[in-house]
Amino acid sequence: MTTLGAVFRPQLAPERLRSVCEAADAAGLEQLWLWEDCFAEGGISTAAAALAWTERLRVGVGLLPVPLRNVAVTAMEVASLHRMFPGRAVVGVGHGVQDWMGQVGARAESPVTLLREYLVALRALLAGERVTTDGRYVRLDDVALDWPPPGPQSESGVFAGVTGPRSLRLSGEAADGTILTAATNADGVRKARQLLEEGRQAAGGRAGASHHVVVYLLTATGPDADARLRAEVAAEGWESVPDLGVAGDAGAVAKAVERLAEAGADTVVLQPTGDEPDPEGFVRFAAEEVRPLLA
C-alpha cells in the first residue's frame, strides 16, 4: 500500500508547526515532511519538536544540505532522533541549492563527490562502525558514535534528495532511499527508477535491500485550486513538465497519487501550494479524505 504524507512548508513560521503536527497526528496522517530551506527553519530542530509533540506520526526531513553540515554532527543528531523516537524519523540529505550554498561560503566544486563521500560515511556511522576516511571533502579520523541507532540499519536508513541522472545513480548505489521533488511527474518517476536501479547494479545489486522512493506531489484543493496550482507551477518554472501536480477534490488527488504509485513511488507526499490558506485543514484533508480512497 502506498504511504501518504504531507509537507509543512518552511514559508510558514516555525510557531505554526505545532498545530499542524497535532492536526496531522489526530487525523491519522502517516507522515509529515519538513524542509531545511535556507534561510528558513532548521531540519533537525523542527523534526525533534514535531516528534515530541506527536504520538504516532512519522516525521521526514527532506532534506539536509550536506555542504552546511559536518557528517559527524549530522550522524549524532540523526542517531539521537532514532533513539528518542524509534521508527518515526526519516532523514534525507542532498546537494542543497547551490546559490544558497554560495551565499554561506559552502559551495562545493563537485557536489556529486561530496554527496557520495557523505552518504558512505553517514551510513557507516549510523550502522555503529568506526570510520576513518580522507576524502576530497569528508575527513574522519577514528570516529564512532557512542549512541548509534539501535536495531537493524533498515530502520535508520539514509535517503538522498536528488534530481539529475548522475545523482540518481549515486542514490541507488549509496543511499537507502530517494526523495524526488514536486517537479517529477509519473514518467519522471519511471525514469528515476531506471537510473536508481543502474546505481544499485553498479553497487553489486545491494542484495537484500529495497530502495524506497518518496515523491512530492504539488497539490491544491478548495477555492481557486486550479489557479493556485497554475501560479505555483509557473513561479517554479515547471510549465514544460506535462501532467504535473493536481488540483481538485479528494478523488482527483487520490487518482494523481495512484499514478505516481503505479510509476514506482512508495510514498507520495502532498505538497501544498505556497499560498495554502489552511495548513491544518490540508493535513486533515490528506488523512481523512484522500487516504481512504487509496488502494
Summarised one tens digit per residue, pLDDT across range 252-291 is 999 999 999 999 999 999 999 999 999 999 999 999 999 9
**Considering the chain, what is the average pLDDT of its residues?**
96
Q: Which helix (H) or strand (E) holds 286?
A: none
- The answer to whether residues 116 and 174 touch, using CB atoms and an 8 Å cutoff, is yes
Question: Which tens digit of pLDDT belongs to each residue from 116-139?
Answer: 999 999 999 999 999 999 999 999
Predicted structure pTM score: 0.96
Q: Pick the closest to residue 182 from 138, 220, 151 (CA basis).
A: 220
Q: What gap in Å lies between CA 1 and CA 272, rounded to an integer?
A: 22
Q: What would you measure as the largest C-alpha separation in the chain, in angstroms?
A: 57
pLDDT exceeds cutoff 80 at 207: no
Read off the pLDDT band of 185 (50, 70, 90): very high
Q: Which of 273, 231, 237, 236 is nearest to 253 (CA)?
A: 273
DSSP state of 66: G
Where would I find the beta strands (DSSP E) of the chain?
A: 3-8, 31-34, 58-65, 89-94, 131-134, 139-143, 158-161, 177-180, 212-220, 246-247, 267-272
- Please tell me whether the peptide bond between 85 and the residue prior to it is cis, using omega within 30 degrees of 0: no
Residue indicated by cell numbers 509543512: 8
Predicted local confidence at residue 95, as pLDDT: 96
**Rounded CA separation 210/208 (Å):** 7
End-to-end CA distance of the chain: 6
pLDDT, tens digit, 9 for 90 and up, residues 219-241 = 999 999 999 999 999 999 999 99
φ, ψ at 78 (rounded to 5°): -65, -40
- The whole-angstrom distance between residue 106's C-alpha and the CA centroid of its chain comes to 21
Mean pLDDT, range 75-85, rounded to an integer: 98
pLDDT given at position 210? 85
| Average pLDDT of the residues in 196-213 | 83
Q: Which candidate, 89, 118, 266, places its Cα nearest to that of 178?
A: 266
Share of the chain above pLDDT 70, in %: 97
209: confidence class by pLDDT, cuts 50, 70, 90: low
| Residue 159 pLDDT exceeds 80 | yes
- The confidence score (pLDDT) of residue 151 equals 78
Mean pLDDT over residues 46-73, rounded? 98
8 A C-beta contact, residue 272 and residue 282: yes
